[in-house]
Structure formats: C-alpha cells, structure tokens
Structure 1
C-alpha cells in the first residue's frame, strides 16, 4: 500500500510539473507566433530572486504564503465540512459492520 501511494504521489507530481512546463511552452510558442512582446501577456510560471528571497507567480498570481501560514489560516477559520463528517461517519459504520461480519465467521 505504501509503495502504491509513493508511486501515485510521484506520478501526480510529475503530471503537475508536466502541465506547468506545457503551459510555459505554449506561452513561448504564442510569443514567437505573434512576433512581438506583449506587456499584458503574463508567463504561466515566473520565478524571481530578489535580495535572497524567491518570488513565485503562477498564472499571474503571487505565491507568497508558506505552508505554515496556510496551515495557521486553515486552523483559524475552523471550517465545518459536511461531506467530511458524513464520510467519517459512514467509514466508522462500515468498519464496524465489516469487523462484526469477520468476527461472526471466525467464531
């Protein structure tokens, strides 16, 4: 199971990187096809280093928050997800049911 998850995550990461590279290649191709630089035409992915700090922009949007800041923001909102709660409840019920069936057949 662990090997499957690792393979799946590596494949998902590879596909994400391939999509970003493809968007950048399409952007470059459009620039070459037009024959001139358009200042309003943004790059798909841009990475700039200034004063030892790295700035990343994806599709023109700045990526400035760190993982810790995002985690703190999510914990602060304390959102309630109905589907998550229903899924947890259904999982608990099905797990208990499966355990009861297995115990009934093993006794």
Structure 2
C-alpha cells in the first residue's frame, strides 16, 4: 500500500466523522486535523521509513501547542517496524499509531494516551 493510498484512507476516515482537515502544508505533518499525523507507505526500507516518520513527528511537536495530539499513520503490514519504538515510549510521547488495512479500514493500536480516539 503506497503512502498516497494510506493517506487517502485516513483522510476519508476523518471526513466521515466530521473532522476538518488540512493536508500537506509543507511545514508540519502530512495531515492536520485535531491531531497531527505523519503518513507512511510500504517501501523497500520500512524500518528506516518508520524511524524517519517518528523523527518528523518529534520535530513537529516542538512547534505546536502542548495539547496537540500526534499520530503515525501506516499500512497494517508495517506494524512490526512501528513497534521498534516500544508502547511505553509512545505513551510517554502521547503518540498514537493509526493502522490502515488493505481494504482501507482504519484503526488505532495501543500507543499514546488517547487509545481508540482516531
């Protein structure tokens, strides 16, 4: 699943639930709604891509109000790469992981402090 497909499924998920979204403003996360989200797709280097995604979110965190919620949005098959950062660390950062399956279904996995609020 390509990054564009993951992002499209996540945006549709948010819009269906009445969220106002802003995408790709070049300075922050890929999708901004009530939380910032960095979106990643399947590539030949999933571990490196997840590390990059976490780094991009960490840089964004310093430019946003403390109450901003952040999420890493990934295809389901990249869960093992996402889990290289432990759930305990993700909870400390209050960082959610949102998973998109091959059919475009979206769900939150156990991570930051806002479990299930995707």
Give TM-score, length-normalised by structure 2.
Answer: 0.24
Give TM-score, length-normalised by structure 1.
Answer: 0.26
Structure of greater Rg: 1
Q: Which has the higher contact order (CA 8 A, sep 6+)?
A: 2
